[in-house]
């Protein structure tokens, strides 16, 4: 986590520069930039509670995806501890043990969703696009078994770290 935090810190300067450069374009028409089915309110609330640089990276990626006609949205971003605890307990019931559940869901103390440092995206087409293009904004798919889970894990424009098999090997 410390290594990632350091990378994020270094990414701040780069991303801030990117934001300044792209600000006139992205702030000119926030509502019309979204596809008709998605309201500006829904787009804004998707990133609520996220670590600011993750929210910024995602917003920049989303603008690019929309420009290319690629569907992309956040299925689950920031979660409260209570929400994560409920998911964790569900996971233990579903998979039969804490060890088995950890491959798919982590307890509140360990989940990067609770710290606002992770997003689960959809649909699969958008996730595949983000897997291929996301490193332009520092966004990386983290696990072999979760095509939907992304974090800010590299500097913009640099390669993503090797994926882990699943969340239990974090
Ligand atoms: Zn996730």
Domain map (residue ranges) of the chain: 2-77+118-169, 79-115
Residue located via tokens 């990626």? 61
DSSP element (H, E) containing 35: none
C-alpha count within 13 angstroms, C-beta hemisphere, residue 44: 6
Select from 122, 116, 119, 120 the least CA-distant residue to 38.
Answer: 122
- Expressed in angstroms and rounded, the spacing between residue 117 Cα and the centre of ligand 1 is 9
Question: What pLDDT is stored for residue 36 in this prediction?
Answer: 41
- Record the pTM: 0.75
Query: Which one of 10-24, 36-50, 144-158 scores highest in mean pLDDT?
Result: 144-158
- Expressed in angstroms and rounded, the spacing between residue 28 Cα and the centre of ligand 1 is 31
Q: pLDDT tens digit string along 32-69?
A: 444 444 444 444 478 999 999 999 999 999 999 999 99
């Amino acid at each position: 986590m410390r290594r990632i935090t350091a990378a994020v810190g270094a990414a701040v300067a780069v991303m801030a520069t990117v934001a300044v450069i792209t600000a006139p374009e992205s702030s000119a028409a926030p509502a019309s930039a979204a596809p008709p089915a998605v309201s500006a309110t829904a787009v804004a609330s998707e990133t609520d509670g996220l670590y600011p640089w993750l929210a910024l990276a995602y917003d920049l990626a989303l603008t690019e995806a929309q420009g290319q006609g690629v569907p992309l949205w956040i299925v689950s971003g920031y979660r409260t501890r209570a929400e994560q605890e409920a998911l964790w307990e569900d996971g233990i019931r579903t998979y039969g043990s804490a060890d088995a559940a950890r491959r798919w869901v982590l307890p509140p103390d360990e989940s990067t969703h609770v710290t606002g440092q992770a997003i689960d995206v959809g649909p699969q087409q958008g996730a595949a696009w983000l897997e291929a293009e996301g490193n332009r904004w520092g966004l990386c798919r983290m696990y072999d078994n979760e095509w939907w889970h992304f974090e800010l894990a590299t500097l913009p424009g640099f390669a993503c770290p090797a994926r882990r098999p699943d969340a239990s090997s974090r």
